[in-house]
Structures are given as C-alpha cells and as structure tokens.
Amino acid sequence: MSFMTKLSNVAKRSLLKILLLLVVLLLASTTLLIMKGEGRLRTALGLAAKTRVERKQGGRRGQPKPKTPTTTTPKGNPDSFIESFEIGKSVKGRSIKGVRFGRGGKKVLFLAATHGDEYGGEVADQFIDYLTRNREAVPKNTEIHIIPRVNPDGWEDVRRGNARKVDINRNFPVDWQPQVGLNDDSAYGGCTPGPRPGSEPETQALMKLLKKRFTRVISIHSLGGIIDYDGPGEELALEMARASPYYLVDPTDYSGNSSGSLGRYVPKTYKIPVITIELESDRLDRVLDALLVAIRF
C-alpha cells in the first residue's frame, strides 16, 4: 500500500488545499518582487491613479500617444493652399505646430489640447486630415489656422497642465489669480495658474499668434458635450449647437472658472468671440458639421 492510499479522504483534501495555497502565495510574492525590483509597482499604482484623474478631468483614455503623430502635417509654401508653421516651443522644447488652409481676410483659429488629457488633439488631427482631402470645404477669402496641440508636453504625458504643471487656460494676463479656485477643474488636475500672468512659453506663443487678428477663435476641450461662448459669439455658438448633438450653454449660467482664461483674454483684447466646444468623444464626425459652420458663418 502506498502512502497516499493510507491517508483518509479528509486528510487528502486538506493536503491539497495547503499545496494550492502555497502555490498561490509563491506566485503572488514572486510577482510583487519582480514589480518592486524593476520599479513597476509605483508606476502601476501611479498609472491607476492617473487614469481616474483623466476620466474626471478630460476623458482622454489610455496612454500617451506615440511620439510620431498619426497625422502627417501637410507642408507647403506660404502662398499655397496649405502651409505648416510653428508658433513657439513648449517648456520642454517641443515644437507647437500649426497648419493653415486657404488665404483671405477672414481668419478662423482652432485651438486644441490646451489641456493635454483631453480629446481635442485627436479631433484636430482628424479635422486637418478632412480639410487636406476636402479643399472645397474651405470657403474663398477664408483662412483656417489649426493648432492641434497647444500644450504638447501635457499631451505627451496625458496631463492637464504643461511640464511645470501650469494650466495654460489660467495663465493669460486677464483677471489673473495667483491660485486656482478650490472648485476649479484646474485644482483637481493638480495645476497652478503659474508664477505670474503669461509666464509660460505656451501662453506666450498663443498671445503672439493672436496678434494676427483673427475673426474668431474656436477652442476645443472635453469632456462635456456642450458649446459655450465668450464675447460677441452668441449667434455663431447657437448655429454650431444646432449643427451638432451638443447643447448651447448660456455663459451667464456657466459657472466655469475664467480667471486667466483664453475665453476672457481674447474678447477683452481683440473684441472677437471665443467659442468653446466641450467634446464628449474623440470622434470628428460628432462635431464636423459644427466645425464647418464655424468656418462658413
């Protein structure tokens, strides 16, 4: 008779349970050791926390985009239909790129990914692709300028602020406050308004660009499914809302923080409207008609 057959059924079951437990413990401790050894444990925990923040803040899912953009920026000379340009550099020296379509006196500026954890960059890329393939969408005597990543450092790191954790949209020299309000999304995103108004290279690049005297500015954010406006933009915002599944928010009802914001800076400085779209996804088709209204209006 072998040893095993001598054991009672109860004893066999107990032995099996102990063996299973030992295997589980061994696997768990090995995994922990490997993660700790390679510094992955903190990263894993940090990533988990970050994902939660992203969902709350902007909604851009997943990990930073690959270094090479999915869109190939169209090139051309200043007189051609399409021209690519640079408006400045980020804190980390990344190029803040732009693309212009068409030529003319009416100038529409689209800004996206001011907050690097939001969907605007994806939609701006798709819009650039769309206009590259559909030149007839650009009316005569109209220029469309698109900056797909105002905040390239934040975009790479999937972070709201720039590399110094400054919220570009609280850094403009208009009613600037030294601290963000407690109920401000910026505070949840761990951002500051910067050490002084207009302190950040990304803000300075936009301020310089805005001197080109645009007709209107369309600022693309997420996550909300709404359209709102600052300055003389009520009619345009209403038309854009009608062309989209989003609803128009009356700025007097909107409790969003605006100290140091683009939406306050641009109308005050240039007397032109800023229309803000709060995307609800990274799909251009949801907002394409609204964007086309913004260039035809």
Binding window for Zn ion (CB under 5 A); candidates: 112-120, 206-214, 229-237, 264-272: 112-120
Kindly tell me which of 221 and 264 has the beta carbon lying closer to Zn ion. Answer: 221
Binding window for Zn ion (CB under 5 A); candidates: 70-78, 209-217, 219-227, 261-269: 219-227
Residue 149 CB, nearest approach to Zn ion (Å): 13
The CA distance from 21 to 10, in Å, is: 17
Q: How many residues bind Zn ion (CB under 5 A)?
A: 3
Please pick, from the candidates 107, 115, 145, 159, the single residue that binds Zn ion as defined by CB under 5 A: 115
Residue 100 CB, nearest approach to Zn ion (Å): 24
Residue 105 CB, nearest approach to Zn ion (Å): 30
Residue 82 CB, nearest approach to Zn ion (Å): 27
Residue 118 CB, nearest approach to Zn ion (Å): 5
Q: Are strands 274-279 and 226-230 parallel, antiparallel or unpaired?
A: antiparallel
Kindly tell me which of 139 and 256 has the beta carbon lying closer to Zn ion. Answer: 256
Please pick, from the candidates 149, 159, 216, 221, the single residue that binds Zn ion as defined by CB under 5 A: 221
The CA distance from 165 to 117, in Å, is: 12
* Residue 94 contacts Zn ion per CB under 5 A: no
Kindly tell me which of 100 and 221 has the beta carbon lying closer to Zn ion. Answer: 221
Can you read off the two tokens belonging to residue 284?
A: 């251009």
Range 291-296, long-range pairs (CB < 8 A, 24+ positions): 291/110, 291/127, 291/218, 291/240, 292/137, 292/243, 293/236, 293/239, 293/240, 293/243, 294/108, 294/110, 294/216, 294/218, 294/236, 294/240, 295/108, 295/137, 295/138, 295/139, 295/142, 295/144, 296/139
Report the 10 Å Cβ neighbour count for 213. Answer: 9
Task: Tell which residue, 157, 145, 148, 47, has the closest CA to residue 91.
Answer: 157
Binding window for Zn ion (CB under 5 A); candidates: 60-68, 95-103, 108-116, 170-178: 108-116
Residue 294 CB, nearest approach to Zn ion (Å): 18
Task: Please return the burial class of 70, using the count of CB atoms within 10 Å of its CB with bins 0-12, 13-18 and 19+.
Answer: exposed
Kindly tell me which of 83 and 118 has the beta carbon lying closer to Zn ion. Answer: 118
Binding site for Zn ion (CB under 5 A): 115, 118, 221
